Amino acid sequence: MMIISPLVLISLVSLLIIAVMVLLSRNLLFSSMVFGIFSLFCAFFYIASLAVDVAITEIAIGAGASSVLMFLTLLKVGIKEKVAPKLSKQERRKKYITLAFLIIMGVFICISLLDMPPFMDPTNPSNLHIADRYIKETPTYYQIPNIVTAVLGSYRGYDTMGETTVILIAAIGVFTLLRNEKGKKEAIISKDLTNNAILLRGAQILIPVIMLFASYILFHGDLSPGGGFQAGVIFANAYILFALIFGLEKTTKYISFFALQIMLAAGVLIYIGTGFITFLIGGSFLEYNVLAHHAFEGQHYGLFLIELGVFFTVFSGIALIIVIMMEYLNRYNKNVW
Amino acid sequence: MNYIELIIEVCSWVFFAVGLFFACVGVLGYFKLNDVYSRQHSAGLIDTGAVIFISLGLLLHAETLVVGFKIFFLALVLIYASLPICNAFINACLTGKVKNQYGEDLKQDGEKNDDN
């Protein structure tokens, strides 16, 4: 019998309570705020499971960027949830059939949970399959202290390339849906919160610290938890904070839409380019050993390059999505931001 | 036990007690007070009093300089992050015309609430 740590238990129970709160609430603003808290407790859970990388990402994306995204969406759609229209008898019967089906499925899922291996047990089949090999091989073959980075970059470089491309595609999707070159000039001129001295000073102190932390996570990624993805997300949060407080005009003066687009594509290019360079030197695709005279050094160079690529794509992707949303709102809601 | 160690230990526990007092008062006020402004005030007590005193107590327990610096930095970030958030929250309530417990609108028309 294994012991579940109290932090895990507390976070899991809170997650359940928060999920019920979100379901029961009819106020969308409340729901989206509570979703941020949900992400916070998710991060507690990840930290208790010793997955600090995932916790950093969850905090930065779930509690930071996606909350801002939800609030911006609420500015467009309104806070109140629409009341469902009265259903006819036939529709109601259909709904009851669906409900019964869902309950039966839920019971089956609960039954199948009994066959699952114990929670957070190191002797689970999933932990015995290949994780053992990662833990044994990484210090001798790659000499990278942080095994997670080695798994992401060295063992599963193709997967990470795919993930980076997914972010590129998501940002391109938002870009093509919401961006409109017409009326660009009016949309950029917007309000800001810089007349509030306390917010201004707080942002002036916090934003450089957040950026410094992001670069630390990027450059220290193969030694301590973190890497390109986490660094990009944190840097994007600094950018979003700047955009929320100083307004869209100043933000796009420092890092413009065009620069964000270039970075978005350049990140994926750096990643795939690293693969092609190793290809040209004589290794296989994304085999970093050939990048330097010594295989370990080559691993470090290659990992740094691909993490730089991931950083650029993730940062500019998330920043671009938020900034385009803000510009869209400015265009249709008459300068809310 | 050395006298200096004893003094440091006692001091740190006094700091912990004061910080816990602020935290308890803040939580109690958060549940007992009637409107959003006074509740935010008691939440701000936790953000300042509790954070400052508990991190002071932890600083006295820090064994190396690096750990002490990390605690100091953490407290600084907490204070600088949460106090502007309190301010922004109250400003949002004022802009959204949330009434206080006596049913008064705190923001008069034409008044600029968010200047220095």
Q: How far, in Å, CA of A332 to CA of B45, rounded?
A: 40
Q: Are residues A274 and A125 in contact, defined by beta-carbon separation less than 8 angstroms? A: no
What A122-128 contacts at long range (C-beta under 8 Å, 24+ apart), as own/partner pairs, is: none
Best mutation target, B72, B77, B111, to test chain A (most A CBs within 10 A):
B77
> Can you tell me whether residue A80 is helix, strand or coil?
strand
ipTM: 0.78
**Cα–Cα distance for residue pair A270/A180, rounded to 1 Å:** 28
Contact A310, A165 (CB under 8 A): no
DSSP A290: G
Q: What is the C-alpha to C-alpha distance for residues A96 and B102, in angstroms, rounded to an integer?
A: 46
Q: What is the pLDDT of residue A336?
A: 60
A195, A197, A202: residue with CB nearest B80: A202
**Across residues A109-113, what is the average pLDDT?**
91
Asked if A193 lies within 8 A of B77 by C-beta distance, the reply is: no
Note the pLDDT of residue B106: 72
> Of A86, A85, A73, which Cα lies nearest the Cα of A28?
A73
Q: Is the pLDDT of residue B13 over 70?
A: yes
Q: Calculate the CA A332 to chain-centre distance.
A: 28
pLDDT at A239: 93
Query: Helices A295-333 & A257-281, crossing angle to 10 degrees?
Result: 160
Q: What is the pLDDT of residue A1?
A: 47
- Phi and psi of A80, rounded to 5°? -75, 140
The stretches of chain B forming alpha helices (DSSP H) are 3-32, 36-45, 51-61, 65-95
Higher pLDDT, A283 or A55: A55
Cross-chain Cβ contact A199/B81 below 8 Å: no
Chain A partners within 8 Å of B88 (Cβ): 193, 196, 199
pTM: 0.86
**Residue A228, token pair as written in the block:** 């390109």
Q: Which two tokens stand for residue B6?
A: 């004893």
Residue A106 buriedness (CB in 10 A; 0-12 / 13-18 / 19+): exposed
Rounded Cα distance between A147 and A70, Å, is: 34
Torsions phi, psi for B97 (to 5 deg): 55, 50
CA distance A122 to A133: 14
* Residue B2 structure tokens: 């050395």
CB A136 within 8 A of CB A128: no
Residue B116: list chain A partners with CB under 8 A. 195, 197
Model confidence pLDDT, tens digit, residues A200-222? 888 888 899 999 999 999 988 77
Residue A46 · residue A148 · CB < 8 Å:
no
Q: List the alpha helices (DSSP H) in chain A.
A: 6-24, 28-48, 52-58, 66-77, 89-113, 125-129, 131-137, 147-150, 157-178, 184-188, 197-219, 228-254, 257-281, 295-333
A235-287 tens-digit pLDDT? 999 999 998 888 888 888 888 888 999 999 999 999 999 999 998 988 888 88
DSSP structure class, residue A288? G
Chain B residues touching chain A at CB-CB below 8 Å: 77, 80-81, 83-84, 87-88, 91, 112, 114-116
DSSP-derived 3-state class of residue A27: strand
